Amino acid sequence: MAFVSSFSGAKPQSNRNSLPRLSSFRQMTATASLSRRSFLTTLTAIPILIPSLPQPALADRTAVGARRSFDRYHPRILSLIDTLKEIRTFVTRSDASGAAALITDKQFDIKGRRALSIYATGFSDNYVGQRSKDMLRCVDGFYKEMGLVADGTNMEEHYGKAVTLLNTYYEQARLPQKELSGLALD
């Protein structure tokens, strides 16, 4: 019948499921363009959001940063050395209580350790490099030896080891060795 009706000029009955209507086609393209638009909007928003995302820490390794670190921590290290010279006098007299009082003083114990440690980590970027690790080992060893000096056992021996560790720290930090003059026992 469909064959005959197509020749006779009659409209064939269309199957509604066979072809999409024009209005549904427009609706599909509008939906597709909306999804493309939202995708592109999201895509263009990514560069705006990137600075607000957590970034890895970057050390200030410029010459200005190194100078600031030196200016900030070197006077504290010099103060520590001055206290160490006072401790030397107590060690030469075998006065453990006087040495212990200076070693356990907050200026020497906490502030000096922090100054040495923070200055040591200024030589590394985003990780602690080998040079900084070696310097931090010297700081730990220095304070361990000074703790033994404060206990009063073999004060001269442990004081000598502490001065040697501080000397090694200075060599690695490339600080002037003349600042350490007068620390060693004769």
Q: What is the mean pLDDT of residues 143-172?
A: 94
Q: What is the mean pLDDT of residues 25-51?
A: 65
What does DSSP assign to residue 76?
H
CB 162 within 8 A of CB 142: yes
The domain segmentation of the chain, as residue ranges, is 23-52, 63-180
Does 179 have pLDDT greater than 80?
A: yes
Does 182 have pLDDT greater than 70?
A: yes
Q: For residue range 165-176, what is the model confidence (pLDDT) as tens digits?
A: 999 999 999 899
User: How many angstroms separate the CA atoms of 163 and 175, rounded?
Assistant: 15
34-43, 105-114, 124-133: which range is least confident on average?
Answer: 34-43
Does 20 have pLDDT greater than 70?
A: no
> Is the pLDDT higher at 117 or at 46?
117
pLDDT, residue 15, reads: 55
CB 87 within 8 A of CB 34: no
Residue 72, Cβ neighbours under 10 Å: how many?
13
pLDDT, residue 68, reads: 84
pLDDT, residue 57, reads: 56
Q: What is the mean pLDDT of residues 47-61?
A: 60
pLDDT category at 66 given cuts 50, 70, 90 is confident
The pTM score is 0.65
The CATH number for 63-180, chosen from 1.20.120, 3.40.1350, 1.10.238, 2.60.40, is 1.20.120
Residue 160 backbone dihedrals phi, psi, to 5 degrees? -60, -40
CB 163 within 8 A of CB 180: yes
- SS3 of 16, please? coil
pLDDT, residue 130, reads: 87
